[in-house]
Amino acid sequence: MTDTISNLQSSINNRKASRRDFVKASALAGGGLLLSALFPTSRASAATGASSVFAPNFYIKIDSQGLVTLISKNPEIGQGIKTSLPMIIAEELEAPWENVTVEQAGLVLGLKGWQGAGGSGATPSHYMDFRKVGAVGRTLLEQAAAQKWNVPVEQCQADQGYVKHTASKKKLAYKDLVDIAAQLEVPDPDSVTLKDPKNFKLLGRRVTGVDNHAIVTGKPLFGIDQQHDGLLYATFVRCPVFGGKPRTANLDTIKSMSGIVDAFIVEGTDDAFGLRPGIAIVARDTWTSFKAQQSLQVLWKQEDMSEQNSLLYREKALQLAKEDGKQLRSDGDVAGVLASTDKVVEATYEYPFLSHTNLEPQNTTALYKDGLMQIWSPTQNAINGHGLVKELFQLSDDKVKIDMTRIGGGFGRRLMSDFICEAAAIAHKLEGTPVKVTWTREQDMQHDYYRAAGWHHFKGAVSDDGKIAAWSDHFVTFGLNSDEQTGRGANMSSDEFPIRFIDNAQLSQTILNTNVPMGWWRAPGSCAIAFATQGFIDELAAQAGRDPYQFRLDLLGPDREVESGNRRGPVYDSGRMKNVLTLAAQKAGWGKKLPKGSGQGIAFHFSHRGYVAVVAEVTVAPNGSLTVDKLVAGVDVGPLINLSGAENQVQGSMIDALNAAWQQEVTIEGGRVRQTNFDDNPMLRIGQSPKVEVYFDQSDNPPTGLGEPAFPPTTPAITNAIYAATGKRIRTLPLSKTNLSWT
């Protein structure tokens, strides 16, 4: 460990050492130097000769020229975290943003907190810690100024790259304090004073993404951009039927083709989320490897999958949905209420499997040399990939290194590490040579971890005073090769709204066995369940003869915190939800007079600790042609970090929800996916996109993430608006399955 510490210190002190060298050295240090708490060393850093660096922790480096470098810990998938998390540090550090450079960290074992992207969790899990990171740096710089001036530290105040002496009005630039600050003892992060949020100068402002210029000028940021000396290019061919394995293939023919370096069978494992069996084709360029697939002839070993079929799934699910399922929760006397009134509504809502359809297909570059597996990957979950690769090749922790590139779309797909395992397996065989694995669009669509399809059979009743008297939801979903355990992201919580808001309510569940691998998909569970629950709430409002907005306000009831012990958050604050519901309704002009064929719909949902309500305005022509004219969102996720980033995330979530709802679906035939590309699984076009307005209610609650909460309520707001415009209730997705024509 002594050598490791020396290497780390050397990389800090050496003017020529790159940040990547620093991160690599840091990784070897494990938890001792690195953030088993937040702060690694007793001194802020050491200085030698003319080269001085102030590095009080892993995240901050200020050199003698005054350049401030902040480290972005979590991977950037377009959610803006590479900008917003360093902004939190810069705010407390009193570093002027224009002087800040942000660099992406690789995977560092021993860091506090998950070094991934998913669940809208990066902001809430790092907000207070990163404020302390910055405050420690500020505190040390103030102490350094006090020592240099020989004055009490209470008279020294950091302000935008300087420390000022409040009595004399003198000031020193940070660069002039580096040498002294680097020698000071690092204080306990819990002992430093944080700024009053009222005095924030950076947080809440509009800030351009730190990678924006590099993106629009074509700089190589993404995994697919990776280039290395001697790089080879590979593709990995899997059995079209999930679970199949290669028996034999015409590998000699493939290897004889011009530009092909090698072709071989990869045995893989039985882990559906690890290294799958398949055939690797390695070439001098990507296109040659893709073309060689067309000549590949494989005899696959596979089971009879004739029962794995979307039509059969649907037939069975609709039958089971009307029967009893496994009870998840039962409050009050649902059966008694339903039997005692004629104001009963019964309906089944359904939605399909969906692919993640990332714009950047799955890819990873790997090099296995001298016992070290070096990986460059657009991964949301590097620690998962690290563990799988380590286990596959029996490597120690320090023999697997992962650099996280920028990601061209994640949405949960890259939380799985199958593509990392493929690159590692090929690199292991081609020891000493870097290799980049790239999937075709067809592979990406047909070998995903899909959002699970589902069916909700509802029964509900309204009371004479126009409120929900009873609620029953039997949810039919899927398990991967199981009818006991739901697939990833396919479950429903026993606290699913409107549970706890209705006295008589019950939830039940039935699991269908499928060979289709499922995975977390943007706003897992919520992304589909909200379509069903908010649609059925609208039906009950119609049964009661009530305005859908007022009906929802009554359902939420008085302002209170309701226990919500699930993935959405510990409590459901009805007051916060009512506030955003009212905000969206007011900004959208809820209830305004619209021409025939136009309508408004409203919906809300609580997920990932965020409160979002959406009002949609649509126009449906008599021939059924749909135009979504406007989407208006009211949002409460606590205080905002970056206003531009926050707006982008809400806007993107809403457009993504419309995209998924309009035409997208994945269908299964014989245990394989039918869809292959965007021609048979189309994406939303620019001309179909509506005007989007976003309004924030910035409460004093702790901030939460924004990548997901606006997605779930958008779809039901649109389908409820279609009902208002046409009188046709949308209970099936995608929208393209329903004839919307009217007279």
Say how far apart CA 730 and CA 738 lie, in whole Å: 7
In a domain, 444, yes or no: no
Say how far apart CA 190 and CA 727 lie, in whole Å: 59
Sign of the torsion formed by the C-alpha atoms of 134, 139, 140 and 141: positive
Say how far apart CA 19 and CA 60 lie, in whole Å: 11
The pLDDT of residue 570 is: 78
Conformational region of residue 113, where left means phi above 0, alpha means psi within -120 to 50, and beta covers everything else? left
Say how far apart CA 288 and CA 471 lie, in whole Å: 58
Residue closest to 23 by CA, chosen among 69, 93, 71, 67: 71
Question: Radius of gyration (Cα) for the chain, nearest Å?
Answer: 28
Do 194 and 318 share a domain, yes or no?
no
Spell out the alpha helix ranges (H) of 462-612: 526-544, 548-556, 574-588
Task: List 603's β-bridge partners, or say none.
Answer: 614
Tokens at 8, concatenated:
């780390």
Residue closest to 711 by CA, chosen among 595, 633, 626: 633
Q: Tokens 């039958």 identify what position?
A: 319
In a domain, 742, yes or no: no
Do 248 and 319 share a domain, yes or no?
no
Say how far apart CA 617 and CA 339 lie, in whole Å: 37
Domain range for residue 573? 310-354+450-737
The pLDDT of residue 223 is: 98
Do 386 and 321 share a domain, yes or no?
no
- Total-model pTM: 0.93
SS3 for 381?
coil
Do 267 and 125 share a domain, yes or no?
no
In a domain, 247, yes or no: yes
Residue closest to 654 by CA, chosen among 703, 605, 702, 701: 605
Q: Which of 438, 458, 485 is the last residue of a domain?
A: 438
Task: List 173's β-bridge partners, or say none.
Answer: 162
Say how far apart CA 516 and CA 196 lie, in whole Å: 51
Tokens at 36, concatenated:
């088993």
In a domain, 743, yes or no: no
- pLDDT averaged per 10 residues in sequence order, the chain, 743 residues: 30 36 36 35 47 91 96 97 98 98 97 93 95 98 98 98 97 97 96 97 98 96 98 98 98 98 98 98 98 98 95 98 96 98 97 98 99 99 98 98 98 98 99 99 98 98 98 98 96 93 98 98 96 99 98 98 74 97 99 98 96 99 98 98 98 98 98 97 96 96 94 99 99 97 94
Q: Which of 192, 216, 240 is the last residue of a domain?
A: 216
The pLDDT of residue 267 is: 97
User: Based on the number of CB atoms within 10 Å of its own CB, is 216 exposed (0-12), middle (13-18) or buried (19 or more)?
Assistant: exposed
Q: Which of 383, 409, 438 is the last residue of a domain?
A: 438
Do 231 and 165 share a domain, yes or no?
no
Task: Indicate the Cα dihedral angle 633, 637, 640, 642, nearest 10°.
Answer: -70
In a domain, 511, yes or no: yes
Instruction: Report the first-to-last Cα separation within the chain, whole angstroms.
Output: 78
Helix (H) or strand (E) holding 425: helix 418-429
The pLDDT of residue 10 is: 33
| Residues of the chain by 3-state class (helix, strand, coil), percent to 5 | 35, 25, 40
- Number of domains the chain is built from: 3
What is the DSSP-derived secondary structure letter of residue 502? B
The pLDDT of residue 542 is: 98
Say how far apart CA 70 and CA 137 lie, in whole Å: 11
Say how far apart CA 205 and CA 208 lie, in whole Å: 10
In a domain, 443, yes or no: no
Do 172 and 209 share a domain, yes or no?
yes
Do 387 and 505 share a domain, yes or no?
no
Do 212 and 299 share a domain, yes or no?
no
Tokens at 654, concatenated:
């809403």
Do 210 and 237 share a domain, yes or no?
no
Q: Which contacts of 485-489 are long-range, i.e. CB under 8 A and separated by 24 or more positions?
A: 485/511, 486/452, 486/511, 487/452, 487/514, 487/516, 487/517, 487/518, 487/519, 488/449, 488/518, 488/519, 488/520, 488/524, 489/412, 489/451, 489/452, 489/518, 489/519, 489/520, 489/521, 489/524, 489/525
Do 468 and 434 share a domain, yes or no?
no
CA distances from 511 to 308, 313, 326, 491, 575 (A): 14, 11, 9, 9, 35
Helix (H) or strand (E) holding 282: strand 278-283
The pLDDT of residue 568 is: 62
List of E strands, 43-135: 53-57, 60-63, 68-72, 100-104
Residue closest to 128 by CA, chosen among 142, 106, 113: 113
SS3 for 68?
strand
Do 556 and 606 share a domain, yes or no?
yes
In a domain, 110, yes or no: yes
Do 426 and 555 share a domain, yes or no?
no
Residue closest to 39 by CA, chosen among 194, 192, 188, 193: 188
**643: domain CATH number?**
3.30.365.10
Contact status, residue 377 vs residue 423, Cβ threshold 8 Å: yes
